[in-house]
Amino acid sequence: MSEDILQRFHGVIPAGGVGTRLWPLSRAAAPKFLHDLTGSGSTLIRATYDRLAPLTGDRIMVVTGQAHRTAVLAQLPELCDENLVLESEPKDSAAAIGLAAAILSQRNPDTIMGSFAADQVIGPVEVFQEAVREAVATAATGKIVTIGIRPTLPSTAFGYIRQSGRLDIDGAPSAMAVAEFVEKPGEDLARKYLASGDYLWNAGMFVAPVGLMLRHLAASEPELYVGLMEIAAAWDTPVRDEVMARIWPDLPKTAIDYAVAEPAAAAGDVAMIPGVFTWDDVGDFAAIGRLNPASESTNITVLGEGARVYADQASGVVVSDTKRVIALIGISDVVVVDTPDALLVTTKDHAQSVKKAVEHLKAAGDVDVL
Amino acid sequence: MSEDILQRFHGVIPAGGVGTRLWPLSRAAAPKFLHDLTGSGSTLIRATYDRLAPLTGDRIMVVTGQAHRTAVLAQLPELCDENLVLESEPKDSAAAIGLAAAILSQRNPDTIMGSFAADQVIGPVEVFQEAVREAVATAATGKIVTIGIRPTLPSTAFGYIRQSGRLDIDGAPSAMAVAEFVEKPGEDLARKYLASGDYLWNAGMFVAPVGLMLRHLAASEPELYVGLMEIAAAWDTPVRDEVMARIWPDLPKTAIDYAVAEPAAAAGDVAMIPGVFTWDDVGDFAAIGRLNPASESTNITVLGEGARVYADQASGVVVSDTKRVIALIGISDVVVVDTPDALLVTTKDHAQSVKKAVEHLKAAGDVDVL
């Protein structure tokens, strides 16, 4: 792939989701992407930025909520105003990624954008970057390119991508055609997907010419498309706020998978680079246990500076957001998340049920801790 | 029993133990007896005082640490200075109860004292009071009288009292002679004790003429006896503090059981009233579960005003000393004790292991939370 093509590449980081299954660590005011969940010293959004920067330089746009402006800039002080897109309210991924596409297209219609969620853990970075290079080379041939993740277990938590034949693209030796995106399967189906070898996890990574993204968006979500284009036309002008305030609140909420990826795949416009890096979306506290080694002396994975943990016949995960002493006695695979105003005690097996607790607290009016 | 004898009766409440197995709720600065562990609205020491007052009026002496003066007076505002005995440092039960005996004897050698720990839960109070009346009547015949607890299980956590023949004492129809006190048994022995019917739990309740208490103390612990008598002689004089400061720190530390109860039993001077009330020494957090009903909607026993507990597929005990939201998911018989600077997560089965955690924290230098 010529370096010319990489010059057209612009990263986009949608930083939206709260990460409800990581409550009470993640919450509306401190969503998942603002935490260091791997003990690396970097928050997830900082690590996402640092993974892309060697490919893009400072051409990385972040789309996030107005409320997170200060926190995001604290994490990414090099982010110039031009590359910070603030949503006045959340509108799901089609609007967020679509707005980035529209603004980038307005500025330079030759741009190839690459959208990568702010809250994933990936390594080694060099392997990821090589996959992105192949994706950019493939996108330059007029494809929407996703980077699929080789499944390691029959997960029912992810959507899948069905690959069809191998493509023959200069600079992208591993590029595959994509037959379809399929929704999160049940357990039996997930096992079949895993066994077939043709299904990869959909990690929501999309690399594509902005024009192609917008064309599919226009076809499947014309109302959203028209609104986003009007906002984008005003974006770099003095009337940005006024136009945004008028149009954004009424835009339809939908996912980029429905609005672009699935119809584009049906049209034969999608390709895939299989990612052979390790990948984790840190979906719950069990993931924290996977991603962080347990202390050999205590069998406990501890996250949090200054944590003071005593363990006796215990194992599991402690996330400490306080300076309190935490004593764990006689519980296996426990999950304890200790924050100043809320405490979670569960097990790794029940880590997915945290979402239900958050929904219950919301319904009960305990919104001060959400 | 004539009311004259009851006029000689003076309650004594040694309030010393921290209640290590109830850490982090109980701790040096807030020992067990200063907590309401039954949801009754009364702290254990207040309830102990209220159980005795119908028999003693205001003739109740509290022996506690200097550090607890303010907290004890807040609980027992009616306690006059004459009935508050403050230890400059803990010296175990023989010194605490012996000092009370010596002071009471100095004031009136005809006194019958009744010592009852500050941190036990007893009911119904009328049944307890009837046992104490019988104990006082028996003590008046020249006995050290203990109130034994009928064992309900082969506990290895308590010492036992072996009864021998029935006594025939006016006003004390259930009084029994005591053959011996025996130490905490192993499991096999505890089962034999339970089966025999002749062994009752030693709850550390002693009713006796002060002179008889002191006579046995003099015989078995002469150094302690001499020191206590010297302090008692100075107690109601201007040199109390000076004498206390000189003598108390060097007094031997030993338990009242070794210093008085066991030798007195060997001499045939001990009687017992079998207590038919319910009794719990609230020895650990499993006891909190026994003593407080679980919420029907959540299966969780919650102790603590303003506790905000969400439970899903969980059961157990939550003690909340904060205003934090506590979410419990998928753990049975869990024990969560939430305080501003320390958190305990364990199970009812491991409630006794809390002591080990406290010892570890002490050794590790984490004394700020003990």
CB contact (8 A) between residue A334 and residue B341 = no
Instruction: Read off the pLDDT of each residue in A354-365 and give the average, rounded to a whole number.
Output: 94
The answer on pLDDT for A3 being more than 80 is: no
Interchain proximity B343–A346, CB inside 8 Å: no
Q: Which two tokens stand for residue A136?
A: 């950019």
Which chain A residue lies closest to B348 (C-alpha atoms)? A330
**pLDDT at B1 exceeding the cut of 70:** no
pLDDT number for residue B318: 96
CA closest to A326 among chain B residues: B343
Do the Cβ atoms of A314 and B353 come closer than 8 Å?
no
Check residues A28 and B191 and name the one with the higher pLDDT.
B191
Chain-chain contact of B343 with A324 (C-beta, under 8 angstroms): yes
Strands (DSSP E) along A17-94, which ranges? 60-65, 84-87
Closest CA to A341 of B338, B35, B344: B338
Q: Are the C-beta atoms of residues B282 and B298 closer than 8 Å to each other?
A: no
Residues B45-79 have pLDDT tens digits of 999 999 999 999 999 999 999 999 999 999 999 99
Closest CB to A347 among B330, B341, B350: B330
Q: Mark yes or no for CB contact A327/B344 under 8 Å.
A: yes
For A217, which DSSP code? H
Report chain A residues whose CB lies below 8 A from the CB of B356. Answer: 312, 329
* Torsion region of A27: left, alpha or beta (phi above 0 gives left; psi -120 to 50 gives alpha): beta
Cβ contact (<8 Å) for B357 and A310?
Answer: yes
Distance of alpha carbon A231 from alpha carbon A233, whole angstroms: 5
B113 CB within 8 Å of a chain A CB: no
Q: How many CB atoms lie within 10 A of CB B276?
A: 13
Q: What element of type H or E holds B180?
A: strand B176-182
- CATH fold of B3-280, please? Spore Coat Polysaccharide Biosynthesis Protein SpsA; Chain A (3.90.550)
Query: Which pLDDT value is given to residue A17?
Result: 82
Residue among B315, B322, B332, B345 with most chain A CBs within 10 A, to mutate: B345
**pLDDT score recorded for residue A173:** 97
Chains A, B: CB pairs < 8 Å? 126
> pLDDT band for position A18 (50/70/90)?
confident
What residues in A contact B338, CB-CB < 8 Å?
343
- Report the gap between the CA of B336 and the closest CA in chain A (Å): 8
Q: Compare all CA atoms of chain B with the CA of A339 and give the residue at the minimum distance.
A: B324
Residue pointed to by tokens 């009136």: B108
Long-range contacts of A165-174 (CB under 8 A, 24+ apart): A167/A138, A167/A271, A169/A137, A169/A138, A169/A141, A169/A271, A170/A1, A170/A137, A171/A1, A171/A5, A171/A133, A171/A134, A171/A137, A172/A1, A172/A134, A172/A135, A172/A137, A172/A138, A172/A273, A173/A134, A174/A131, A174/A134, A174/A273, A174/A274
Nearest to A344 by CA among A366, A319, A327: A319
pLDDT-above-90 percentage for chain A: 91
- B313 vs A contacts (CB less than 8 Å): 350, 353
CA–CA min distance B288, chain A (Å): 17
**pLDDT tops 70 at residue B2:** no
Q: For A61-117, how does the pLDDT look when each residue is reduced to its tens digit (9 = 90+)?
A: 999 999 999 999 999 999 999 999 999 999 999 999 999 999 999 999 999 999 999
Give the DSSP letter string of A255-305.
-HIIIIIHHHHHTT-EEEEEE-SEEE---SHHHHHHHSPPPTTTSEEEEST
> Residues of B with CB below 8 A from A323's CB?
341
Question: d(Cα B259, Cα B217) in Å, to the nearest integer?
Answer: 6
> Residue B17 — pLDDT band, cuts 50, 70, 90?
confident
Note whether B326 contacts A343, CB cutoff 8 Å. yes
Per domain, the residue ranges of chain B are: 3-280, 292-369
For range A106-131, the mean pLDDT = 97
Q: Token digits for A232?
A: 């984008």
B331/A contact by beta carbon, under 8 A: yes
Each residue of B122-131: pLDDT tens digit? 999 999 999 9
CB of A328 within 8 Å of a chain B CB? The answer is yes
| Averaged pLDDT score across all residues of chain A | 95
Q: Which of B:249-308 have CB within 8 Å of A?
A: 308
Digit-coded pLDDT (tens) for A290-343: 999 888 888 899 998 888 999 999 999 999 999 999 999 999 999 999 999 999
Give the pLDDT score at A1: 59
For an interface test with A, the pick among B329, B333, B358 (most A C-beta atoms closer than 10 Å) comes out as B329
pLDDT higher than 70, residue A2: no
Rounded-to-integer distance, Cα A270 and Cα A208, Å: 9
What pLDDT shows up at residue B338? 97
Q: B257-314: per-residue pLDDT in tens?
A: 999 999 999 999 999 999 999 999 999 999 999 999 888 888 899 998 888 999 999 9
Please tell me which residue, A163 or A2, carries the higher pLDDT value: A163
**Which has more confidence, B109 or B38?**
B109
Residue in A249, A227, A257 with CA at minimum distance from that of residue A115: A257
A303 touches A309 (CB < 8 A): no
Q: Give the whole-angstrom CA distance, residue B336 versus residue A370.
A: 21
Q: How far apart are CA B249 and CA B231, in angstroms?
A: 12
User: Is the CB of B359 inside 8 Å of chain A's CB atoms?
Assistant: no
Query: For residue range A217-270, what is the model confidence (pLDDT) as tens digits?
Result: 999 999 999 999 999 999 999 999 999 999 999 999 999 999 999 999 999 999
Q: Nearest by CB to A329, which of B340, B350, B366?
A: B350
Full DSSP string of A159-210: -EEEEEEEP-BTTBTT-EEEEEEEPPP-HHHHHHHHHHS-EEEEEEEEEEEH
Per CB-CB distance under 8 Å, the chain B contacts of A312 are 353, 356-357, 360
Q: Which two tokens stand for residue A77?
A: 């002080």
How far is it, in rounded angstroms, from Cα B121 to Cα B125?
A: 10
Copy the structure tokens of residue A285: 């506290």
A365 to chain B, minimum CA–CA distance in Å? 12
Is the model's pLDDT at B151 over the cut of 90? yes
* A362 has a chain B CB within 8 A of its CB: no
Confidence band, pLDDT 50/70/90 cuts, at residue A4: confident
B324 touches chain A (CB under 8 A): yes
Tell me the average pLDDT across A129-152. 97
Q: Contact B329/A366, CB-based, under 8 Å?
A: no
Q: Which of B312, B341, B343 to mutate to test the interface with A (most CBs of A within 10 A)?
A: B343
Q: Tell how far CA A80 is from the center of its chain.
A: 21
- The band of A195, judged by pLDDT with boundaries at 50, 70 and 90, is very high
User: Nearest residue on chain A to B329, judged by CA atoms?
Assistant: A346
Which chain B residues are closer than 8 Å to A340 by Cβ?
324
Distance CA B300, CA B294 (A): 5
Option in B328, B342, B350 nearest A330 (CB):
B350
Rounded (5°) CA angle A42-A208-A177: 105
Residues in A touching B311 (Cβ below 8 Å): none
- Residues in chain B with CB shorter than 8 Å from the CB of A366 are 308, 325
Joined together, the tokens standing for residue B164 give 């021998």
* Residue B330 contacts A where some CB pair is shorter than 8 Å: yes
Q: What distance in Å separates residue A339's CA from the closest CA in chain B? A: 9
Q: Bridge partners of B162? A: B180, B199
